[in-house]
Amino acid sequence: MFKKSLIGLALFAGAALSPALVAEESQQNWDLTPLYADWQQWQGQKADLEKQLERLLAYQGRLGQSADALADAMDLYYDLSKTLSQLYVYANLNADTDLRDSDNGAKRQSIAMLANTFNQASAFVNPELIALGEDKVMKLVDAEPRLAAYRFPLENILRGKAHTLAPAAEKILAAAGTVTSAPYSSYATFTNAELPWPEIELDGELVTLNQASYARFRSHPDREVRKQAFDNFFGTLSKYRRTIASLLDANVKADVFNARSRNHASALEAALSEDNIPVEVYSALVDTTNANLDTLQRYLKLRSRMLKLDDQGYFDIYPAVVKATGDYPIDRGIEMMLASLEPMGENYVNKIRTGLDQRWMDTYPKLGKRSGAYMSGSAYDVHPYVLMNYNDDYTSVSTLTHEWGHATHSVYANANQPYATAGYATFTAEIASTFQEHLLTDYALKNADDDNERLYYLGQTLEKFRQTFFRQTMFAEFERAIHEEVEKGQPLSDTRASAIYLDLLRRYHGHDQGVMTIDDAYGIEWAYVPHFYYNFYVYQYATSIAASAAFADEVLSGDKAAYDRYLNLLKAGGSDYPYDLVKRAGVDLASAAPYEAIFKRMNRLMDEMETILDRSEKL
């Protein structure tokens, strides 16, 4: 139950590396001293934690001895978990500040190893509680007030009775974690450090066409340049398709092994059962999206019109249809974010102001700094931290707003929940972040100076829906398909993976309808997407943006009851199952309704975009 520390904007596989800039302003660099004064203090607490693990093992066989014994064990377990999380946050943030510092990287790795040791030391807890039985455990909970904070975590453990093994087997599975995670580690090492990317000339520049430069050139305004980037990048991946397919096959087999070891009907069911999410959520998302692919294809036709293309290809999918009308330096970005959140009230907005004033954020790109953006919210006794690589564009404003949505979620959850139930699932985490993005979009559109600026924001919003909703749902469908192949005993070869992926690409993008041509060579794109090693993770981006759109519409309409329900969702943290929390707040993600609302929203935006285009073409 070691809590995940990072929640980030990870929608685009292989996002471009940050420019090598140096941020001199200390106000824009995060202050990590609230975590630990220095590495010496960190090392001291780490050493103390290692010694404390022996105390945890002393409770093995004693959890049912008395209510006091169970409360003491739970207090110790969660105290150790909380300390471990804070140790990891400090090591991770320092390492990501400068990836060139191998010492910091080693410290981060040492915490990952300590977390594995912690998991092994606590592996007896679940099977022992399950062996005691629900009646006895709940009687102990009722008898000791200290156990009230652990009621839901204990209920959740007992729910897993059918999927929990004997203590010895649990310990073996915990230790096997380093083995079953090896395919992804090997994939990341191979594609990021050892795969020989080609050196080619693009737009008069000699570049090594790796993930970063591909992400840069795939949106180039010159069609020939971006097609050259596509063809060379995916052509290179294709040369190593068998190696990458073997790694993906091993990763899927590990998922299936874990699912079957725990008596689950499928890997999908096993992945969703961790947070007790009904499989119907996954099915409703995929099925409803497939029934409404005409919405995506309408958007692609609109892109073709704006880019003035007669034969739109897959390599045309990334260029912006409207250029930005200006720059968005950090002060303007913060101003837009805070202004857009005014419908949430002064108390809500002031939580973000506090974080900005107290330097919870590392703002700018720097030499050696990790690329992308994330929020780290697991330091329960301190506060969240936000890593940004702000580039003075509107995308950076959107990312800023997204990550501070995560941070605000953590602030509310930590203030209203004990540590044991403060940590929330990804299923709800991405709702808080995309909710703030919806409010930003509403603000930007209402305050646009002219049609051109309005077109820009409309284009950015529609592209967000394409990448966050449709692309992630397509990924989810691919992930389900490859797991089903392995579960049927079929090998996941490179040709089979490419055939499945190419079929999905063409179906989603209207290849047979003449909307967008998808060349056979682009079926290898699956080899570029690290998310397929994350065990049914990506579908939550799509479900979350659908739920958050519904919440945003209600809040912006002035519905006070809806506002209260949404804030209660943030405050709830992980105090109940995420699907139930979202449903209680007013959105049922196992039904078609929230997804159909996304399609209606997109069509409204496209109606507005076409009206502006029609008006401009008459001038």
Q: What residues act catalytically?
A: 403
Burial of 135 (C-beta count, 10 Å sphere; 0-12/13-18/19+): exposed
Report the distance separating Cα 576 and Cα 425, nearest Å.
10
- Which helix (H) or strand (E) element contains residue 39? helix 39-57
User: Which letter does DSSP use for residue 470 in this model?
Assistant: I
Report the distance separating Cα 599 and Cα 136, nearest Å.
49
- Which helix (H) or strand (E) element contains residue 208? strand 205-208
Report the distance separating Cα 87 and Cα 91, nearest Å.
6
Report the distance separating Cα 573 and Cα 596, nearest Å.
27
Report the distance separating Cα 575 and Cα 152, nearest Å.
6
C-alpha closest to that of 524 among 113, 8, 13, 7: 13
321 Cα distance to chain centroid: 26
Neighbours of 537 (CB within 10 A): 17
Strand, helix or coil at 220? coil
Report the distance separating Cα 264 and Cα 592, nearest Å.
26
Report the distance separating Cα 85 and Cα 235, nearest Å.
42
Report the distance separating Cα 528 and Cα 506, nearest Å.
18
